[in-house]
Structure formats: C-alpha cells, structure tokens
Amino acid sequence: MKLFLFVIGTVLGSFLCLCAERVPKKESVIFGRSRCSYCHHPLSVKELIPLLSIIRQRFRCLHCGRALAFRYFFIEFLVGSLFVVFLSERSLILFWQLFWLLSTLVLAVIDCDTYLVEERIFLSTSLFLVAGGLILHQPIYWWQPLILLLCSSVLQRYLPDSLGMGDVWLTAVWSLLLTGYKLLVLLFIASGSGLLFFMIQRIRQKPLREVPFVPFLFCGLLVVLLSLKKA
C-alpha cells in the first residue's frame, strides 16, 4: 500500500512541476505534450517516468544535453513521501492537510521562478482550504488575519518592501486555521531558514535581488502539520 501511494505521489509531483511551469505563462496544464524546458523537444513516454527517467538520463536532456534542474527529482520524491505520510491512514483531515501542503508547494516553486505569489492558484486553493476547514469542523481564528495584516502594515511603514504582500495574504489565510502558537512557530522556522539561506548566498558571493519567501513558509508549514499529525 505504501509503495502504491509513493508511486502515485511521484506521478502527481511530476504534474505539479508541470503546473508550476505552465500556469505563470498562462499555458494549459491539460493539453500539449511535455517538452524540454530548454530545447522544447517533445518528451517520449520513457522520458516521463517519475524519478527513474531523470536518473537514467543522468539529469540531462537526451536531445540538447542541457542539465535538468534537480528540483524535478526532489519534488517528485517529496510528494511521493508526503503521500505515504498523510494518506497511509484514512482521514479526511489528513487529506485536507496534504492538499494544503501540495498547493503551497506549487506556489513555492512559482515564487522561486517569478518572485510572485501566483494569484489564481492562491485564490482558488485558499477558498478550498478554508471551505474544507469549515466542513471538517476545524477551529477558525477569525481575528488573527486582522492582527497579522495590522502588524504587516506597521512593518511596511518602517521597513518598506521588507515583505511582499502576496506572502502577507498567504500567511493571513493560514492564520485562520492555525493557533497563535503554531503560527508563530511556522513564522519562526520560515524566517530563520530564509535568513540562513540569505547568509549562505552572501558567503557564496551570489547577489540576491530578493528572496522568495513562500519556499520557507512551506518549510514552516510542513513542520507544523507533521507535528499536528504526531499529536
């Protein structure tokens, strides 16, 4: 059962990579064959097997020889692992939490590429997330988004452009569904990992125009939801 879940997860992980690439370009995620990101050569079936194909190709395109991003392998493996962790038990709440993580993962990949929180994915998944929380009788903390937005407006006044509004709205939606303590833990992990990434890049002397923050919010969310699952 766990192997089956892992395989299905890797397939979905591959599809999520496709969504993260095509949605910002306003391309269909249903129609159109998968192509190499560099030479745009259509990929054959043997090049589309999650995890195995990219290993077999030694992380390079068979047609142009360009190195393929490691994130394809990482995301397929991560989503497969998340399927095993969250779907090994039959629980609607765990399924809802998995949706929360996977939708954030897509936003994180897009944020890495564009430095933006993709509006269409954010709005649709947020509505589904909050509606799911209500249907599953999860506690809703209506006042927390107001406090968060107030704090962010004060921060923006004294430290302009310190935090993108997309990140603020994303965190505000999450604050509806998390206790104040869990939200603080999430933000601490996100801020700490983001600061560590920035320092490493500075040491490596790689200039940063800005730091995409959603990937670090994803890390914080992953830790918080895993802790809730264990509890």
> Hey, what's the torsion of the CAs at 28, 34, 37, 42, to 10 degrees?
-130
Query: How many Å apart are CA 209 and CA 181, to the nearest integer?
Result: 32
3-state SS assignment for residue 42: strand
> Hey, what's the torsion of the CAs at 45, 47, 50, 51, to 10 degrees?
150
Tens of pLDDT, residue by residue, the chain (231 residues): 889 999 999 999 999 998 998 888 888 888 777 877 777 777 777 878 889 888 888 888 787 878 888 899 999 999 999 999 999 888 999 999 999 999 999 999 999 989 889 999 999 999 999 999 999 999 999 999 998 888 877 777 766 666 678 888 999 999 999 999 999 999 999 999 988 988 888 888 777 777 889 999 999 999 999 998 766
Give 148's contacts (C-beta < 8 A, 6+ positions apart).
168, 171, 172, 175
Domain limits of the chain?
A: 1-88, 90-231
Based on C-alpha coordinates, what's the Rg of the chain? 19
Angle made by CA atoms 168, 76, 194, in degrees to the nearest 5: 35
Query: How many Å apart are CA 92 and CA 114, to the nearest integer?
Result: 33
